[in-house]
Amino acid sequence: MSEIALDLNKYIEFEKSVQLVLEALLHHTQVSRIYIFENVDNGLACSNTFEVCNTGVEPQISNLSYLPYEMVPYWETTLREKGIIFSENISELPASVREILEPQEIKSILVYPIYVNGENFGFIGFDECTVHKHWKKSELELLRAVSGIIGNAYEREVVRKSLVLKNEELKKINSELDNFVYSISHDLRSPLLSIKGILNLVFKTSDLDEKSSGLLRTAENSVNRLDETIQEILDYSRNSRLGISNELVDLHKMVTDICTDLKYAVPRNFIFKYALSEDTFSVNTDRSRLNTVLKNIIGNSVKYLRKDIDNPNVEIESRFEGDNLVISIRDNGEGIATDSLPKVFDMFYRASKSSSGSGLGLYICKEIIQKMQGQIHLDSVFQNGTTVNIRIPISNNQQL
């Protein structure tokens, strides 16, 4: 029993484990044949799925691939009511049973049901084809216990197959959803870009009165916000669908380019500060993902700056700590209230009342950093600024 229990708990193929167990049982009992039948068609029939035979005994598995229980009602009824079919001389069994057993040259038989989740799943049988075998009580109890152990193994396998099937279904659903989101986002963004282009032409070529100009600027702001939301959805979809693609990245250029693009959206007194360590100028990482994260976080520092102070600023620092690239982004902006800090990385959560975003930005940053096997942490004091620390493992870093 110990050997069988251990064999069935080994992380090898289930079918191989069961076959090895039946071979060990055959060696122990020295019977002619051991087999397992599994119920099919919602329990209306059974099929021989495993079999081991002693020397000189003809295998029967190919002849017993489908047996309706209605052919032998005695079999199902006896297993259900008595939990055993046992005969040291099959001549004592009903004629309907002997018609199936005698062509197999069976003289003595022992069968126990196999239960999975409390339901009859099939049965395990022991045939003796050479003599009318006498079974000791201890042998019967041993084999009853063994049938229970095998039933437990089947139960685990049923659960495992169910989990595998559900995981495959989830992967398929997620893949279809990602493709849907990606396709819809692209289809939505195309007309938005056309609208933005038309608005720019109107502003450049038309002599608009103040009211009309204000209305069109409002429309432009709405279009920009929607475009940002769609871009965030696309970033999330790409992060979910695509694997990590590392390459040499000029971090200094990436940061300064982001800040250059943002400087037209900030007051003249806003200052971008750089404290990038020279050994981090060239890093081996995923360019697209890192750029998305930095654009989002530096962009938040600009979006939530304090207009009531003389020196609004953001400082971007980088350094290596072992094999990790650490990037810190500090600002002296609005900050985040203490009760909002635990939720800032939640999907659709917006910590600031002045926020006009979708609440996806920091959530996407967290998902991206986790995909890169890194960490992101945010500290903030309301009306005193925010610090975001990013830690990304960098393998085989090279210098330009």
Residue 51: the pLDDT is: 95
Q: Of all residues in the chain, what percent carry a pLDDT higher than 90?
A: 45
Domain hosting residue 87, numbered range: 2-163
Same domain, 138 and 248: no
Would residue 301 count as lying in a domain?
yes
Q: What is the mean pLDDT of residues 203-216?
A: 83
Q: What is the mean pLDDT of residues 54-61?
A: 92
281 contacts 249 by C-beta, under 8 angstroms: no
Answer left, alpha or beta for residue 359, where phi above 0 means left and psi between -120 and 50 means alpha.
Answer: left
Would residue 201 count as lying in a domain?
no
Would residue 221 count as lying in a domain?
no
β 324-331/313-321 pair status = antiparallel
CATH code, domain with 366:
3.30.565.10
Residue 398: the pLDDT is: 47
Q: How confident is the model at residue 57 (pLDDT cuts 50, 70, 90)?
A: very high
Write out pLDDT tens, residues 59-98: 999 988 889 999 889 999 999 999 999 999 999 999 999 9
Residue 340 in this model has a pLDDT that exceeds 90: no
CATH code, domain with 61:
3.30.450.40
Write out pLDDT tens, residues 142-172: 899 988 888 888 888 888 889 999 999 988 8
Residue 353: the pLDDT is: 58
Write out pLDDT tens, residues 111-132: 999 999 888 999 999 999 999 9
Residue 316 in this model has a pLDDT that exceeds 90: yes
Same domain, 388 and 296: yes
Same domain, 159 and 293: no
Residue 399: the pLDDT is: 44
Residue 355: the pLDDT is: 57
Query: What is the rounded CA–CA span in Å between residue 99 and residue 77?
Result: 17
Query: What is the rounded CA–CA span in Å between residue 286 and residue 249?
Result: 8
Sequence-ordered list of residues with C-beta below 8 angstroms from that of 212, at least 6 positions apart, any chain:
none
Same domain, 158 and 306: no
Would residue 235 count as lying in a domain?
no
Angle ∠(219,220,225) on CA atoms, nearest 5: 100
> Of the candidates 132, 163, 194, which is a domain's last residue?
163
Q: How far is CA 357 from the centre of its chain?
A: 29
Q: H/E/C letters for each residue in the chain? A: CHHHHHHHHCCCCHHHHHHHHHHHHHHHHCCCEEEEEEEECCCCEEEEEEEEECCCCCCCHHHCCCEEHHHCHHHHHHHHHHCCEEECCHHHCCHHHHHHHHHHCCCEEEEEEEEECCEEEEEEEEEECCCCCCCCHHHHHHHHHHHHHHHHHHHHHHHHHHHHHHHHHHHHHHHHHHHHHHHHHHHHHHHHHHHHHHHHHHHHHCCCCHHHHHHHHHHHHHHHHHHHHHHHHHHHHHHHHCCCCEEEEEHHHHHHHHHHHHHHHCCCCCEEEEEECHHHCEEEEEHHHHHHHHHHHHHHHHHCCCCCCCCCEEEEEEEEECCEEEEEEEECCCCCCHHHHHHCCCCCCCCCCCCCCCCCHHHHHHHHHHHCCCEEEEEEECCCEEEEEEEEECCCCCCC
> Of the candidates 138, 163, 188, which is a domain's last residue?
163
Residue 321 in this model has a pLDDT that exceeds 70: yes
Same domain, 294 and 392: yes
Q: How many CB atoms sit inside 10 A of residue 75's CB?
A: 21
Instruction: Supply φ then ψ for residue 384, to 5 degrees.
Output: -135, 0
Would residue 380 count as lying in a domain?
yes
Would residue 177 count as lying in a domain?
no
Would residue 202 count as lying in a domain?
no
Which pair of structure tokens corresponds to residue 93? Answer: 């069994």
Q: How confident is the model at residue 400 (pLDDT cuts 50, 70, 90)?
A: very low
36 contacts 123 by C-beta, under 8 angstroms: yes
Q: What is the mean pLDDT of residues 8-35?
A: 87
Ranges 77-86, 350-359, 388-397: which has the least confidence? 350-359
Residue 208: the pLDDT is: 81
**pTM value > 0.75:** no
Residue 356: the pLDDT is: 58
Same domain, 144 and 253: no
Domain count, the chain: 2
Q: Please give the mean pLDDT across all residues of the chain.
A: 87
Instruction: Supply φ then ψ for residue 264, to 5 degrees.
Output: -80, -10
Q: How far is CA 328 from the centre of its chain?
A: 31
Would residue 55 count as lying in a domain?
yes
Same domain, 8 and 156: yes
Same domain, 153 and 257: no
Write out pLDDT tens, residues 243-298: 888 889 999 999 999 999 888 778 888 999 999 998 888 899 999 899 999 999 99
Same domain, 286 and 141: no
Residue 339: the pLDDT is: 87
β 313-321/271-276 pair status = parallel
Residue 226: the pLDDT is: 81
> Of the candidates 99, 132, 163, which is a domain's last residue?
163
